[in-house]
Structure 1
């Protein structure tokens, strides 16, 4: 078996610079810290698609390049492990779940909270177990056939995960979908929770970034809302509402939504709460958004809502086509 180990940057491959800050260094130096790779019952080859970078610098064109590279190499490898910074890992991994549908092979993102050369680093376990996950087979096929994140003994669906902590080793959480697997004395993958291909391979890497986010808060005024919703040239506007999809009874909000929709803007209602999601009929406070025809994000993560919206726009989906595509469970990203 052959696995492709992809290094994009991030804390896992950083070293302390002269001024004490963490800076990326060469992939060969990263690998020198893990000679145990030679013990794997597989050939591990490497690819570095660009100079190592902090994941806060990651942009949609990087997602497209990464997805293209994996797609072009799909027949040469049993699976892929992507080393990525934690700050935007959930965005990149979610985007690839839409760009590379039905690939039928495991793509596991991982990284670390401490550099691999640090004594207490979590990097080695995350890396080795990610490789083991990719190598799991049953009846001649990979057990995992989707994009996932492995971090601190948990395997999570990529488009269901978000970064919950900047300090804890268990940095990622999947609030609305169970873990795909756990690593302890043995490695357990839960087959009933795994996504399976629903058709032929679909490679669609294009994105369109005309997406915006407006987070509701007490005291927000119409001027701020209009500048983000109507004056920023967005085609999709994600409204981060309270609780299960509730919006304040601001007298200007219905007018703003009507004006935006007349301009062709599609509004999406996404809860500020990571767990539970939007249930628009639940409270009278959600009536304004529901009656305005605002789409529900259901129980999707914000990362999945943003990347799916960019991906749908990139496929030329507008109006009804966008609404239908957004409501469809494309890659296991939503249950509601």
Structure 2
């Protein structure tokens, strides 16, 4: 059988840095010489090519323009490659993996995001294992077809659904978690794929790449004592098209009259308000408690068990494809790429 062709896409981040042994300074790694730097990659049963951003970026500078660049690279090379591995800084990786999951409609090949906590040239680096296993995950095939057909995120022995992840630790190698959805695969002595949790893509549909993301959104995190002036200022922003409301527990918020009225007025003006829980795990269930029943009554959108990262990406995506206002709530509350249960 023909070996799978895998394309490495380097955008920037810690994984692409090497440390000068004399000065200790970090500099960008030349991925054209990846086989020289990581000879173990030669043992992988696949063909590997690399492409890098002209100017690699820190993931803190990641934005929808760069998301479109990643999507464009995948679109141009989609027929020539069987899988893609995106090397990315970890800080905003969950946002990017979520965004690409929506932008790559009808995706039927693996797009695996990975990175590292330590530079690739560091003595104790986690970069080599993350990179090598991500390539292996992207290479998995059965009967000549990819096993994984979605956007994943691989870090520290676990493959997650990309739009289900959150970065939980800046210090440990286990930097990510998927609280509301099981791992897609785990790396040990063998690669164990949890096939029942994989996204089932329609192989007969053509890839459609959506590159327009509307960034006129905001995130409003509730806290005890939040002021009326703050909420009014945010909801009153004239360019705002959507707001993610980070509420307590299962979607609860203060039911003070001024708060509900501000939300109701904003929704009546056409603002889309999405209810997402501040809790790392669990789901929004508006109406379960009195403190969320009023949100449901005024038309707040339920984010169910979606992450804030995925909610932001989905909001930008749906605004970008210009879903009709009358259909927006229903569409957001519908699972499109496995981002919510």
In the superposition, the TM-score normalised over structure 2's length comes to 0.94
Matched, 1:168 2:172: yes
> Partner of 2:50 in structure 1?
46
1:24–1:54 CA contact under 8 A, matched in 2: no
Taking the TM superposition and a 5 Å limit, the aligned residue runs for 1:40-189 are: 40-189=44-193
Deviations along 1:125-181, whole A, 9 cap, x unmatched?
Answer: 000000111111112211101100010000000001110111110111000000001
Matched, 1:242 2:245: no
Deviations along 1:103-145, whole A, 9 cap, x unmatched?
Answer: 2101101000000101110000000000111111112211101
2:267–2:299 CA contact under 8 A, matched in 1: no
Taking the TM superposition and a 5 Å limit, the aligned residue runs for 1:292-307 are: 292-307=298-313
Residues 230 and 187 of structure 1: CA distance in aligned 2, closer, same or farther (over 3 Å): same
Separation in 1 of the partners of 2:52 and 2:298? Answer: 47
Q: Displacement of 1:16 after TM fit?
A: 4.7
> Partner of 1:2 in structure 2?
5
Local SS of the residue matching 1:237: strand
> Partner of 1:262 in structure 2?
268
Residues 213 and 21 of structure 1: CA distance in aligned 2, closer, same or farther (over 3 Å): farther
Q: Which 4+ stretches in 1 moved above 6 angstroms?
A: 17-21
Separation in 1 of the partners of 2:62 and 2:36? Answer: 26
Residues 236 and 31 of structure 1: CA distance in aligned 2, closer, same or farther (over 3 Å): farther
How many residues are treated as equivalent by the alignment? 335
Matched, 1:220 2:223: no
The unaligned stretches of length 5 or more in structure 1 are none
TM-align CA RMSD? 1.7
Local SS of the residue matching 2:40: helix
Local SS of the residue matching 2:254: coil
The unaligned stretches of length 5 or more in structure 2 are none
Matched, 1:310 2:320: no
Q: Displacement of 1:264 after TM fit?
A: 0.9
Q: Displacement of 1:301 after TM fit?
A: 0.6
Residues 111 and 287 of structure 1: CA distance in aligned 2, closer, same or farther (over 3 Å): same
Residues 150 and 84 of structure 1: CA distance in aligned 2, closer, same or farther (over 3 Å): same
2:35–2:42 CA contact under 8 A, matched in 1: no
Deviations along 1:37-93, whole A, 9 cap, x unmatched?
Answer: 222221100011331111000011110111111011100001001110000001111
2:198 to 190, 194, 198: 194
Separation in 1 of the partners of 2:54 and 2:238? Answer: 31
Q: Displacement of 1:320 after TM fit?
A: 1.8
Q: Displacement of 1:21 after TM fit?
A: 6.7
Separation in 1 of the partners of 2:105 and 2:184? Answer: 18
Q: Displacement of 1:20 after TM fit?
A: 6.4
2:86–2:112 CA contact under 8 A, matched in 1: yes
> Partner of 1:204 in structure 2?
210
Separation in 2 of the partners of 1:290 and 1:46? Answer: 48
Separation in 2 of the partners of 1:277 and 1:22? Answer: 41
In the superposition, the TM-score normalised over structure 1's length comes to 0.95
> Partner of 1:291 in structure 2?
297
